Amino acid sequence: MTDTYNRSGASPPKSKTGVPEDRSSSAGSKIVEPTYEGDFVLDGSLPLECGHSLVCPTLHYAVYGRLNAARDNAVLICHALSGSALVGSWWPEIFAPGAVLSLEHDFVICINMLGSCYGSTGPGAVNPETGQSYGPDFPLVSVRDNVRAQARLLDSLGIRRLRLVLGASIGGMQALDWTILYPDRMERALVIGVTPLSAMGLALNHLQRQAILHDPEWSGGRYLPQRPPRRGLALARQIGMISYKSAPLFDERFGRNPNRTGEDPWAADGKCGGLTGGRFDIAGYLDYQGQRFIERFDANAYLAILRAMDTWDPLRGYASPQEAFGRIEARLSFVGISSDWLFPAEEVRRFAEAILQAGARVDYREMKSDHGHDAFLAEQAELVRLLQ
C-alpha cells in the first residue's frame, strides 16, 4: 500500500516526494533507524493450524529504543501485507515525540510475517527438510500461526507482557489475535482499519490471486527468482491499489486527465492499434505502482499473505463470540477510516461493538480521511493525532 507517486519525467501537481520504498508517503518525515535488526530462528518446529509445521522457521525482526530492566516497556507493531520489520521506515510518524510511542521510554519490536519476502521464512526460503525452496509448497501460515511464532520470539527476549500491541490491516488482525490467544500478555491493543474480510474483500483478493496464477511465468509457483511472474504481480498490485484508495481521492488527484507523460486517450491508435489509446492519468499511476511493486515484492509471498488474510476469523475454533472475545483482558481500541471501502468504518465500528458486547473493554474512533484504507500510511500525522 502506498501513496507515493513521483514518476520520473512527470510533474505531479498533488503528489508527494518519493521515497525509495513506496511503503510510506510521509513527505518530509525522517526514517527512524532501528536499534537492532536481526533474525530469530525458532528452536524445533512451529506447528500450524493447517496441520503442517514449519521446521526451525526464521523470524526477521527489528527493534527500536531500549528494553528496560523490568522488561515491561515493550510495544509490538504488526505490519500490513507488503510491509517489513522496519516499521521506522514505513510508519515513521508513529515515533513522533509526544505521539503514540516514545523511543525514550518504549522498546518497539516489529516482526516480519511468516510468508513474507522480507527476511522471515516464506515461499522463497529453503525448506530444511528438502533442501529446496518451498515455492508453492509453502503451507498455509495463518494469522494465529504468526502470532504464536511472535510469542516465542518475545519469550526469547524475556518479554512476558507488552505495554501495547498494534497494527493496521492484516497487522490489526494479528493485534486482535494477540489479545485472544495471550490475554494476559498485554495492557492495551490498537486495531486499525480491519475486520474479517467481507465478501467484497475476498473477491478483491481472489482477483489478485488470479492475476498472478494466470501469468505463465508463475509456472505453478516454481519460477526462477530471475524470471518471476512480473505482469501478474503488477496487475495484482494494481487491483489491490484501487481497494486501498478511495474514489474521491482518485477524482481529486487524477480525474479524467490524460496521463501526465503526455499520452492521448483519444488517439486513433495506441500501442496495440485502435483497441488501445493513450492512457488516462489514473492508468499511468496504477501502472507505475505495479512496476514499483514488482521491484520489491515476491509473487508467492503475496499469495501466502493473501491466504492468511482471507482465512482470518478470530472466532474460528471457538463456540461463540463470548468464548473468543470474552478472553480479552487488554484495553482494546479500534480505528475505522471514513473513506475505507475495503474495510468500511461502519463495519469496523460494528465489529468493535460485537467485541464490546462479549465483555471486553473496547473503544472505537473514526479517522476522517479521503485516502481510503491507505490512510494509516498516507496520513500518519492525522492518525497519531487521533490516537493521542
| Residue closer to a second copy, measured from CB, 166 or 204 | 204
> From the list 30, 105, 214, 361, which residue makes contact with a second copy (rule: CB under 8 A)?
214
Point out which residues pair with 164 in neighbouring strands.
75, 188
Which one of the spans 77-85, 102-110, 235-243, 353-361 is the region binding a second copy (CB under 8 A)? 235-243
Residue of 229, 196, 109, 224 lying closest to 159 (CA atoms): 109
> From the list 66, 188, 231, 349, which residue makes contact with a second copy (rule: CB under 8 A)?
231
Q: Does 2 bind a second copy (CB under 8 A)?
A: no
| Residue closer to a second copy, measured from CB, 19 or 286 | 286
Cell numbers for 388, please give them.
Answer: 493521542
Q: Which helix (H) or strand (E) holds 202?
A: helix 199-213
Q: How far is the CB of 290 from a second copy (least distance, A)?
A: 8
> From the list 29, 71, 280, 329, which residue makes contact with a second copy (rule: CB under 8 A)?
280
If you count DSSP H runs as helices and E runs as strands, how many of each does the chain have, helices first?
12, 12
What track of x and - describes contact with a second copy for positions 296 through 325 (by CB under 8 A)? ----x--xx--x--xx-x--x---------
What track of x and - describes contact with a second copy for positions 174 through 213 (by CB under 8 A)? ----------------------xxxxx-xxx-xx-xxx-x
Burial grade of 183 (CB within 10 A; 0-12, 13-18, 19 or more): middle
Query: Looking at the annotation, which residues are catalytic?
Result: 169, 340, 373
Residue that has been written with the C-alpha cell 480491519 in this structure? 194
Phi first, then psi, for residue 69 (nearest 5°) are -65, -35
Which one of the spans 24-32, 161-169, 174-182, 244-252 is the region binding a second copy (CB under 8 A)? 244-252
Burial grade of 334 (CB within 10 A; 0-12, 13-18, 19 or more): buried
Residues 6+ apart with CB under 8 A from 8: none
Kindly determine how many residues on this chain lie close enough to bind a second copy according to the rule CB under 8 A.
Answer: 71
Q: How far is the CB of 42 from a second copy (least distance, A)?
A: 18
If you compute the radius of gyration of the chain from its CA atoms, what whole number of angstroms results? 21
List the interface residues with a second copy, window 120-139 (CB under 8 A): 123, 134-139
